[in-house]
Amino acid sequence: SVPIALAVLGLSFALETYSSSVAISEIRREAALANMRFLQYLRNGSDPMNAAVLMEDLAGLVGVTIAAGSIGLASMTGLSSFDAWGSIGVGGLLGVMATYIVQKNRAALIGKSVDDGRMLLIRTELLRDPIIASIHGLRAVEIGADAIRVSAEIGFDSREVSARAMRLVESRGVVLTGVSPHKPDVALLESYTEAVLEVLGDEIDELEQRVHAAIPEVRFLELELM
């Protein structure tokens, strides 16, 4: 009967409203952690799950409203066509929501580029140390719900690397004077080479820590030397 159908739809509306409120609270929390606005996170957030839940709940609320309206109109007018149009409307709504969810999940599965704001922040952190002369081919891709992979080719300032390596060698008590190009000091060259490698390794470790501190979602940082 119509009263029972409307009662069931009313209960469904209440449950969908509660579920929507929970999804909205969760999205607001995640948007705050990502320094994004609510709607911005809904469109471009890395985790599609909560957005999908919210859109499903909203579709449920609209669908219940359409169903209740069509049942009421059919009951009052005696025209069953209202019931048919209501079914078509609910089906179309579900189709639209399914398309949205597929697009969101596809982006999460195949990876998508991060937004311009975070890309600029990554570049800024990489260039903050004067030892980095240039960056080329910077890419940052979201993989999964809460992970970002960053890759780039970096060019080091040779003078800065050399100066730091020299200071490191001197701090170890190695004398750098009196070196003859015709009779190289093998021990000195080995110490200097080790120092250069240590400087480069320490700088790469520092870059990883710096970028991760600025954007915690960055889990993978792949750097190639030019």
- CA distances to 66, 95, 122, 126, 198 from 154, rounded to whole Å, are 57, 46, 13, 9, 17
By mean pLDDT, which of 9-13, 22-26, 105-109, 187-191 is the weakest? 105-109
Residue 6 per-residue DSSP state: H
User: pLDDT grade, residue 191 (50/70/90)?
Assistant: confident
Q: What is the residue whose two structure tokens read 């080995």?
A: 190
Q: What percent of the chain has pLDDT over 70?
A: 89
pLDDT of residue 145: 62
* pLDDT of 226 higher than 70: yes
Read off the pLDDT of residues 141-178 as tens digits, 9 standing for 90 and up.
877 667 888 999 989 988 888 888 888 887 877 665 55
- Residues 185-190, mean pLDDT to the nearest whole number: 69
- Residues 45-61, mean pLDDT to the nearest whole number: 81
- CA distances to 26, 55, 108, 166 from 128, rounded to whole Å, are 34, 41, 30, 22
Structure tokens, 207: 């870059």
* pLDDT of 68 higher than 70: yes
Task: Indicate the Cα dihedral angle 197, 198, 200, 206, nearest 10°.
Answer: 160
Cβ(195)–Cβ(165) under 8 Å?
Answer: yes
Supply the pTM of this predicted model: 0.54
pLDDT of residue 170: 79
Distance from C-alpha of 86 to C-alpha of 61, rounded to nearest angstrom: 14
Supply angle C-alpha 19, 98, 90, rounded to 5. Answer: 75
pLDDT of residue 143: 76
- Residues 205-225, mean pLDDT to the nearest whole number: 87
The beta strands (E) that lie in 73-199 are given as 112-113, 132-142, 148-156
* pLDDT of 34 higher than 80: no
* pLDDT of 184 higher than 60: no
Supply angle C-alpha 200, 211, 167, rounded to 5. Answer: 25
Cβ(125)–Cβ(68) under 8 Å?
Answer: no
- Residues 129-134, mean pLDDT to the nearest whole number: 89
- Residues 2-25, mean pLDDT to the nearest whole number: 88
pLDDT of residue 198: 87
Q: CA quadruple 150, 156, 160, 163: dihedral positive or negative?
A: positive
pLDDT of residue 103: 77
Structure tokens, 111: 């990876």
